[in-house]
Structure 1
Amino acid sequence: MGGFGVINYALLDEKRAVFGAISAVLSYPEKSFINDRFLLLETFENPKTLALITAFWEEISALTFGEITETYVDTFDFNKKTTLYMTFYKFEDARERGQMLAKLKVLYEMFGLLPDDAELTDYLPLMLEFIDAGDWYLDERSGDSIELLIGVIEDGSYHLLQALEEAGNPYRFVIEAMRNELRVCVKQGEEKQHVE
């Protein structure tokens, strides 16, 4: 994203459905995956994001459903370089990573999303689902919390995108689209005010 600016919460709120749709695309593919693309494509108004998601669908649609699920598993479950767990890239120390996962769990619960204990709290589709479904907008507690969430997504997805691009993986388009939408919601060039 090239530096972190000030989050435009109103715009992030307007784009909830966009992040929900990206979460759905990044989740394990169900049988309706290919047919759902038409509904999902209607969600994207940003021309760059729409072009990226369309490029993903064009590549992935050439595969059978079995090949799609195999691609998903090979990409996100069996390759450490392309994991959907966003803190994996930054925290090698299990204790530090555990602390960040606990912070994210508290954040989700504070804003009304009760994550399934089967997934770690830094799982990208869950993080995007939180942006979509959490009750964070206009809550005075959301400032630092949303900054933390977006910071974790930005850091992790940067490394994820690099690895996906290097591999020529179709999911690179989805991650780039997500990063584009986050970038739109962050006012660049403004210094963040830190109050201690």
Structure 2
Amino acid sequence: MKDAQKIALIASFLLRYPDEQWYNELPEWREDAQSVGHPQLRQGLLEFFDYVEDSDKKEFEDQYVRTFDFSQNTTMYLSTYELQGTGEQAEELVKFKAFFLENDYDLPKEMPDYIPALLELCAVIDDEKAK
């Protein structure tokens, strides 16, 4: 697996909501991060894993919610702030959904503009399609 694919998958994992399953998978993803070839990216990822492991789980979860769920400046959905009209946003969501389905990937529980899912998809499809 190429470094770019590996990093996209790790980032996809790290951006997901930190529930109990997420914490259980953390050591496996840390191990994957240790095999990233690019030294600065590997170091940045490992420092983030250190930060998570040194943080209180409840405080980290609260910080995640404040950052991505209750912030007016950040979100995990690409079309939320970019498109103001509901018609424009719906049209964009249909395009994202079609992109997923064209690549044999479905999102039964998430909106199709969910950044972690997009990163995961781009890590497993052809580089040109991912761009």
Q: TM-score range by the shorter chain?
A: 0.7 to 0.9
Contact 2:8/2:119 (<8 A) preserved: yes
Contact 1:88/1:97 (<8 A) preserved: yes
Please name the residue that 1:24 is paired with. Answer: 13
1:43 to 1:101, Cα distance in 2 relative to 1, 3 A: farther
Contact 1:17/1:43 (<8 A) preserved: no
Please name the residue that 1:92 is paired with. Answer: 84
Is the partner of 1:82 in helix, strand or coil? coil
Structure richer in helix, relative to its length: 2
Picking from 14, 22, 36, the partner of 1:44 is 36
Tell which deviates more after alignment, 95-104 or 24-33.
Answer: 24-33
Deviation of the 1:123 alpha carbon: 0.7
Deviation of the 1:82 alpha carbon: 1.4
Partner deviation per Cα, 1:33-88 (whole Å, 9 max, x = no partner): 55345323224221221122123223333211122212211211111211111122
Aligned-residue identity in percent? 21
Is the partner of 1:120 in helix, strand or coil? coil
Q: Gaps (5+ residues) in structure 2?
A: none
Q: Matched residues in 2 for 1:98 and 1:39: separation?
A: 39
State the TM-score, normalized to the length of structure 2: 0.81
Q: Which 4+ residue blocks in structure 1 deviate beyond 4 angstroms?
A: none
1:64 matched to 2:74? The reply is no
1:64 to 1:128, Cα distance in 2 relative to 1, 3 A: same
Q: Matched residues in 2 for 1:44 and 1:87: separation?
A: 30
Q: Which has the higher contact order (CA 8 A, sep 6+)?
A: 1
Picking from 120, 123, 130, the partner of 1:132 is 123
Aligned residues: 127
Partner deviation per Cα, 1:86-144 (whole Å, 9 max, x = no partner): 1223111121111111101001100110112x3111111010111123xx428xxxx5x
Question: Alpha carbon RMSD of aligned pairs, Å?
Answer: 2.2
Contact 1:18/1:43 (<8 A) preserved: no
Q: Gaps (5+ residues) in structure 1?
A: 1-12, 148-196
Please name the residue that 1:103 is paired with. Answer: 95
Is the partner of 1:89 in helix, strand or coil? helix
- TM alignment of 1:136-151, pairs within 5 A: 136-137=125-126, 143=128, 146-147=130-131
Picking from 67, 70, 83, the partner of 1:78 is 70
Is the partner of 2:82 in helix, strand or coil? coil
